[in-house]
Structure formats: structure tokens, C-alpha cells
Structure 1
Amino acid sequence: MNLKPGEVLFEEGALGDAAYLIVEGTIQISRNHNGKSVPLATLQRGEIIGEMSLIDHQPRMASAVAVDACKLVRISDKNLQERMDKLADSDQVLHFLIKTLVRRLRGLARNTE
């Protein structure tokens, strides 16, 4: 998947059906606060975005917009769920750790609104 500069990958509040691995380019993550877009992070090659919605099936916490031309690999909900299921079978501690971290990150984000 390719994005042009300024193109929106996903919007805050949308339901997530995929995560993305950044192969090339830069993505800015931002949240809406009092009607203004507030930058949270800038992610680059080798980073994954959008994974939290797939792990806990909650709406997107933030928006993602291409800063420059980007090449991404889409990780489907089904693919990630299969991996999480395998992890639950092979390492329940790590599986619960990931779910706990996502829940805490969401709680932290809600508390800073």
C-alpha cells in the first residue's frame, strides 16, 4: 500500500480492521483536542501502527497521516488475531502482558484528554 504526502491512513474514532508496517516514509500520529489536531508521535520505517485497535477491538485512538511518500504493509485483523491466538497457546504470560499494556495505554490516553 502506498500513501502520498498528506494522505490519511486512518482517522481517530474509526474502527480498525488492519495494522500497518511502515516500509518507507514517515507517518504522523495525532489526536483531536478541543477541535485542534495535536501531534503525538512521528513514526518511521520498521514501526507498526494501528495495532491497538486489532488487539482490543476498540476504535482508533488517533489519526495517522503520511508526512511524505509512504510504503506500508497491511496486517489484517485476521492475521494478527491468528498470531495472538498462537501466542496465547504458547506463552500466556506474554499474551496477557500485551493485552494489559494496550489496556493501560488506552486508559492513559483517556486520562490525558
Structure 2
Amino acid sequence: MAEGAAFVIRIDEIWLATEPLDMRAGPDTALARVVKVFGAALPYCAYLFANRRGNRMKVLIHDGLGVWLCARRLNQGKFHWAGNWHGDRVELSPEQVRALVQGLPWQRIGPAGAISVL
């Protein structure tokens, strides 16, 4: 791959599962959880899961041909998850995901990055 080349996976929707996932889960287990929680793994969608402690996250992405399973761990602190949300899933905007993966309170970010909750 040429230097500076970008690797982009198309993602149209980003969904966060409110129930924790065992971080030992591999692609098949994570895919089974996506199907259980969301009904199906739709093409061009990303599905986010955290562990019980909230310091690790796994993301399953269906790129239209197969699935990608990515992991992220915070060295300090926790991800601000959807603990007080009603239901088992929440759709996130790209701005909210950027805040979430940095360990910031994404719930405060509204459309176009506007702060909507104090």
C-alpha cells in the first residue's frame, strides 16, 4: 500500500448496545450478539459493545462482504456508556462516536456537534 494511502470502510449507521459483552468474544460470538440484540447485522453498519467495567470496547462492522471486529482499550478512565438508557440499543451520530471512543460524555453531543444537555 502506498505511503499516505487511506483505508476506509463505509459506515452508514452506528449502533451502541447497552448490555456488556465479554471481551474474549471473537467474531462469531460478537456477530451472534449483534443478531440477537439488533435483529441482523446490516451492511455498512457498525455495532459497539463495552465490557462490564467500561474500559474496553469492541466494534463489529459489516462492510457488505464480511465482518470486521475491532477492539479499543482505555489506559485510564472508562467509556461513557448508555447505562441509564431505556432499551437495549442506541443509534449514535459520528460526532457522538468520536466523543465516545475518546472517553468523553457523548450523551451531551447533539446533531452537528451541538451541546444539547448540561
> TM over 0.5, yes or no?
no
Q: TM-score, with normalisation over the residues of structure 1?
A: 0.28
Higher relative contact order (CA 8 A, sep 6+): 1
Q: TM-score, with normalisation over the residues of structure 2?
A: 0.28
Q: Which has a greater percent of strand?
A: 1
Q: Which has a greater percent of helix?
A: 1
